[in-house]
Amino acid sequence: MRSAWKLRLIIMLVIAGFSVISYLSKSSVNPVTGEKQRISLTQEQEVAMGLQSAPEMAQQFGGLYRDERVQRQVKTLGQKIVAASIAAKSGYPFDFHVLADDQTVNAFALPGGQIFITVALLSRLQNDDQLAGVLGHEIGHVIGRHSAEHIAKQQLTQGITGAVVMGAGSYEMAQVAQMVGGLINMKYGREDELESDRFGVCFMKDAGYDPGALVGVMEILAKASGGGRQPEFASSHPSPENRIAKIQEHVNKLSAACSFPGTGAREGAY
């Protein structure tokens, strides 16, 4: 009995150790932000993954919205933001799409630059400044390489979770390990959202839009949630109230918020 437990412990430590070493070896510097990140995907792999996933993701939201005028409006505004910001130097082939879903208030970015907004969210926006805020935020996810970071973190979490399950040999411990791993990844998700809010503020300013309009977007999202949110510690997104406070802080201190070491210069002359 004791020897079997020791064997499981050894196996657990080996698997966990391999997962940690593998994760720590995936180190690269984001050429735009200057941030050191744990990422295993190349930029080309991110682009390929996004292009491959785009049709399936669109289908999950009822396909693309059929009004070509609306599609052109969003694409034009999105490309204006890209051209005016550090996103133009990123090498990602950005493209923007409106989804036909008129019930789900949502926008998201796939790895590599494919960006989507549902017509349900688009119809709630009051002006181009707010639309620029949504698209700027999603561009920020791509520039920040958040999807690639998240994939690496999931691989680490899965490896450690598997090690705990194998070493513990009990269903209860497996549940605890999975719950802890999930909370770890949620925490990273919240940090990504706040960083993308900061990027969005900067990109809006660069393209000539009012960065304060992103506050209005947060208010729209809060209203759409209907007050049925989970507590922030167990949610993949920060509360709209916390995001609003951070956005206002960035708007008040644009020079500090919009300094990107990877470019060698600050964006804009604030």
| 103-151 residue pLDDT tens | 999 999 999 999 999 999 999 999 999 999 999 999 999 999 988 887 7
Task: Give 89 or 174, the one with higher predicted confidence.
Answer: 89
Tokens of 162: 């598997």
Q: Does position 162 have pLDDT exceeding 90, yes or no?
A: no
Domain assignment present for 2:
no
Domain assignment present for 153:
yes
- The pLDDT tens digits of the residues spanning 190-239 come to 888 999 999 999 999 999 999 999 999 999 988 887 655 554 444 566 77
> By the 8 A CB rule, do 29 and 36 touch?
yes
H or E segment and range at residue 38: strand 36-38
| Three-class secondary structure of residue 5 per DSSP | helix
- CA dihedral over 52, 55, 56, 60, signed as positive or negative: positive
- The pLDDT tens digits of the residues spanning 14-42 come to 555 555 555 455 677 777 777 887 787 78
| Three-class secondary structure of residue 175 per DSSP | helix
Residue 149 is predicted with a pLDDT of 81
Task: Return the amino acid letter for 110.
Answer: L
Task: Give 241 or 203, the one with higher predicted confidence.
Answer: 203
pTM comes to: 0.77
Distance of CA 20 to the CA centre of its chain: 23
Domain assignment present for 1:
no
Task: Return the amino acid letter for 200.
Answer: G
Domain assignment present for 147:
yes
Domain assignment present for 219:
yes
Domain assignment present for 6:
no
CA R_g for the chain: 20
Domain assignment present for 17:
no
Domain assignment present for 87:
yes
H or E segment and range at residue 29: strand 27-29
* Portion of the chain with pLDDT greater than 70, in percent: 69
Total count of domains within the chain: 1
DSSP state of 64: B
Range of the domain at 90: 23-266
